[in-house]
Amino acid sequence: MTHSGGLTDLRALVIGGSGGIGRAVSKRLAAAGMRVCVHGGRSRERLEATLNEITDAGGQAEGFLAEIERVEDLVEPITARLPFSVVVLAFGPYLEASLLETSARDWVRMAELNLALPGTVLSLCAPAMQAAGWGRFVLFGGPRTDGIESFRTIAAYGAAKTGVSSLVRSAARQLGRYGITVNAVCPGYIATEYYQDGDLERLSARMPDRELITTAEVAQLVERLVTPESNALNGAVIRIDKGV
């Protein structure tokens, strides 16, 4: 089965959707006509601000808070709100540390929340999409994690996010027959509110045009991946980093 219409009235879940890239994605999908369910972490103020921006612009949105420290923290909130036609997972803790500075708990946390969590979300949400005969998943990798790379300071994070690429390809192979696509975006240096001004200036200097990528540019790519016309894009792991 294929979905013949546009995005209007499809229901989307955006995990990590109240800040950074996720917030831009939530707003973009709502502007395209989707009914967006926005997951926020611990800040009700940030979640409500995102929902208000969407509704003030004429979009449809609901939201919930769930601080994620373990995979199980998200299972019940998602299960209670199924089904979704589109799921975007714009969440994953970052760790910058050498191997000698990375603790056992750091390794477990990186693997659990950057790899096991996306896998769990796929397992939870895919059955309803399978029953409907259509669905879209977009996961997020990290910088240069579309292939096996070496990293000086993000070994644990990079290893987990590289695993996302394998997960995406396996899920695409298994779910494509049901009209479900699974793709990933690997952002480079993105201008978000999580950086300090000094960080933004330092990172901008690394870019070929000295301009960081905007969250709106990433959201535009995500929208493209979830459209009904994107059936051929399945199992893709796409870098958006200006080649850096």
Q: What local confidence, expressed as pLDDT, does residue 229 receive? A: 93
Where the chain has pLDDT below 70, the residues are: 1-5
Q: What local confidence, expressed as pLDDT, does residue 171 receive? A: 98
Task: Give me the number of domains the chain comprises.
Answer: 1
Q: Is residue 79 part of a domain?
A: yes
Q: What local confidence, expressed as pLDDT, does residue 201 receive? A: 77
Q: Is residue 1 part of a domain?
A: no
Q: What local confidence, expressed as pLDDT, does residue 59 receive? A: 97
Q: What local confidence, expressed as pLDDT, does residue 2 receive? A: 55
Q: What local confidence, expressed as pLDDT, does residue 5 receive? A: 63
Question: Any idea what the CATH number is for the domain that residue 135 is in?
Answer: 3.40.50.720
Q: Which domain holds residue 222?
A: 11-239
Residues 95-104: contacts with CB within 8 Å, 24+ apart?
A: 95/154, 95/156, 95/157, 96/153, 96/154, 96/157, 97/153, 97/154, 97/156, 98/152, 98/153, 98/155, 99/155, 102/155, 102/156
In the three-class reduction of DSSP (H, G, I as helix; E, B as strand; rest coil), residue 125 is classed as helix
Residues 6+ apart with CB under 8 A from 10: 3, 33, 34, 35, 85, 86
Single-letter amino acid code for the residue at 88: V
Q: Is residue 5 part of a domain?
A: no
